[in-house]
């Protein structure tokens, strides 16, 4: 009798591992966010199924902050400006900045991990306004507006316009990248994945990039704080499947670290990480 019970349970567990975990539940995400305003969008890239914890907010566009480094990196690799993950990428200009990790020469891996803004601004200048606009158009990235800021259009600043993209668009773009539907070579994508890998467990591997910033003045940027918005954008490999995600949090003092913490909590609770 015991074997008759255990066998179906074993088959069910095996099927779950083979097919991957279901998308997150509203209960799990609600608990992870608590009182924090935000949204988590998760896309099953194989089935095309989408989970959104806040469908209305998922369609609202915001500045991408440093999550644009995902695409800036790929463009730089495709244009031959970046040679590899551990090759010299940025030579420090000698200007002391508030983040010590920025005050030294950087490889691509180091600059991506440190989210080194001046390094990526220099990359954008090397790509140039015309080529960058061409890439943005080909990718159909957000509202496609460089806002007259060719070396900083992805950075939200109070009183300054920036390119805008929604959480839903962020997650779907990652799905298109993984499906080979964007104009990037396999070598470029492999390099990006190498530097994006953030955590591996026996359940899955997570790849992502944080982003933090202040919203435009017309969105009511909080005074006296460094940040009032945070992103965590990337994908998860679990059970032989890909899940793209975009997590956004909004509120005084919130940053990409908070978005990452919430998304990780959801994935762990759901058995995906």
Q: What span, in angstroms and rounded, lies between the C-alpha atoms of 263 and 251?
A: 17
* 35 phi/psi in degrees, rounded to 5: -90, 0
91, 92, 200, 229 from 102: Cα distances, Å: 10, 8, 26, 22
Check if 98 is active-site: no
Q: What span, in angstroms and rounded, lies between the C-alpha atoms of 220 and 240?
A: 42
For residue 221, the tally of other CB atoms under 10 A from its CB is: 19
Q: What span, in angstroms and rounded, lies between the C-alpha atoms of 45 and 242?
A: 6
* Angle ∠(253,256,257) on CA atoms, nearest 5: 85
Residues 6+ apart with CB under 8 A from 200: 206
Which one of the listed residues 25, 52, 53, 66 is annotated catalytic? 66
For residue 121, the tally of other CB atoms under 10 A from its CB is: 18
Pairing, β 204-213 against β 229-238: antiparallel
Q: What span, in angstroms and rounded, lies between the C-alpha atoms of 217 and 133?
A: 25
- For the annotated catalytic residues, the residue numbers are 66
């Amino acid at each position: 009798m015991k074997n008759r019970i255990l066998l179906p349970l074993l088959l069910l567990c095996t099927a779950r591992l083979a097919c991957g975990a279901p998308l997150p539940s509203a209960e799990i995400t609600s608990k992870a966010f608590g009182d924090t305003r935000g949204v988590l969008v998760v896309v099953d890239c194989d089935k095309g199924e989408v989970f959104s914890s806040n469908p209305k907010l998922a369609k609202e566009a915001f500045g991408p902050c440093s999550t644009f480094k995902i695409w800036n990196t790929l463009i730089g690799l495709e244009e031959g400006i970046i040679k590899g993950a551990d090759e010299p990428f940025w030579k420090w200009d000698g200007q002391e900045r508030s983040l010590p990790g920025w005050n030294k020469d950087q490889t691509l891996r180091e600059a991506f991990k440190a989210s080194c803004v001046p390094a990526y601004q220099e990359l954008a200048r090397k790509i140039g306004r015309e080529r960058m606009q061409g890439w943005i158009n080909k990718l159909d990235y957000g509202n496609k507006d460089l806002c007259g800021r060719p070396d900083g259009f992805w950075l939200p600043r109070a009183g300054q316009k920036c390119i805008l993209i929604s959480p839903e668009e962020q997650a779907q773009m990652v799905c298109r990248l993984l499906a080979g539907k964007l104009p990037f070579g396999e070598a470029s994508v492999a390099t990006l994945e190498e530097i994006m890998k953030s955590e591996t467990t026996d359940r899955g591997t997570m790849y992502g990039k944080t982003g933090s910033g202040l919203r435009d003045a017309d969105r009511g940027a909080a005074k006296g704080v460094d940040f009032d918005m945070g992103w965590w954008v990337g994908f998860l490999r679990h059970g032989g499947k890909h899940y793209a995600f975009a997590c956004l949090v909004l509120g005084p003092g919130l940053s990409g670290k908070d978005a990452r913490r919430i998304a990780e909590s959801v994935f762990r609770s759901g058995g995906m990480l």
